[in-house]
Chains A and B, each alone.
Chain A
Amino acid sequence: MKHGPMSRVALLLFLAAGLVACGGGSTKTTPPTTGSLSVTNNASATIHEVYVSPTTSTVWGSIQNTAAIAPGTTWTLGGLAPNSYDGKAVSVGAVGRYYAYTSNLPITAGTTYPTSISNSAFSGSIRVTNGPSSSITTLYVVPAGAASWGVDQLTADIPLSGVLTLNGVASGLWDLRCVHLDGTTNSAYALSVSSLSYTGVTCL
């Protein structure tokens, strides 16, 4: 059987295409070994810090982002080994630091797992101002209606006319008690705490 020049060229092209399709070409693709996590800031406040650590870890580790995440923008963290991760976002206000958490984020190789953070995910803060008469030695803050005052929230006394901001307080209603060095106390009941906000309390 005879073939013309054009049919030979067509045959060569066909064979070359077959080699490439069978992996006979020089390019070699390496399958991805890591995944990514994207964080979309759907809150009205800027996210300043993001922490990501394996779910089995007991510590958060270092800040992962190197720039703040503005409202309405998305930031992606790559290079994550396939695993289950927890995340923590921090918005730093002029007064308080506000936290949002998420857990059990499944990261798989070659994929990007999307997460988003809204206002309601963030905690609030309580800003306690002491009067000029006596330092505050103990501060109790418990959910409204709790049966007991729980643990002391202070790591150091609040000095005369001093201010302490208690961060990481979930939005909702809280009872608060200031105990002064002179034995007197101030109490507030059902004070309201909101996300990304601080509630001022004065204990004279």
Chain B
Amino acid sequence: MTTTEMTRLLRAAATLLALAGAAPALASELPAAVDQPVLDSPASDAAQSTRSPADAPRRTDSATLTPGAPASQGASDDYRSTDQGEPKKR
């Protein structure tokens, strides 16, 4: 039995116990599988810059705008600090 299958079995058992109103703390909290950090590869050229005409730069330089789509696949959020309110501009 693989680790994944074992984890699923434990989750199923925990769910059954929770439904029965007797879920022990140990069974209801399973370890998350964690990978090591992976150095991210660069986004493709087509996905490097996303801007609408209304989001044009306030100042100009000599480069050329390359429109494209966001690089990240799937949903994404920015980390929110645990204190009250958002840090300035972050």
Contact = CB atoms under 8 A, between A and B. Distances in A.
Interface of A: 45-46, 48-49, 53, 57-68, 75-80, 86, 88, 92-99, 101, 123-125, 131, 133-134, 141-142, 146, 148, 150-151, 153-156, 158, 162-169, 176, 178, 182-188, 191-194, 196-204
* B interface, size bucket: 35 or more
A162 B74 CA distance: 8
B78 A94 contact: no
Contacts of B38: 95, 197-200
A151 B72 CA distance: 24
Interface in B8-23: 8, 11-12, 14-15, 18, 23
A82 to B, nearest CB: 15
Contacts of B43: 48, 92-94
Nearest to A197: B37
B59 A186 contact: no
Contact of A96 (B12, B66, B76): B76
A75 B40 contact: no
Given A156-B75, A197-B38, A204-B11, A151 B82 contact: yes
A164 B15 CA distance: 24
B79 to A, nearest CB: 4
Contact of B89 (A58, A125, A146): A58
The CB with the most chain A CB atoms within 10 A, among B56, B73, B76, is that of: B76
Contacts of B4: 204
A188 B42 contact: no
17 contacts: A46-B48, A48-B48, A58-B88, A62-B51, A67-B61, A77-B61, A92-B43, A97-B76, A101-B90, A125-B40, A134-B15, A150-B82, A153-B79, A165-B77, A185-B29, A199-B35, A203-B32
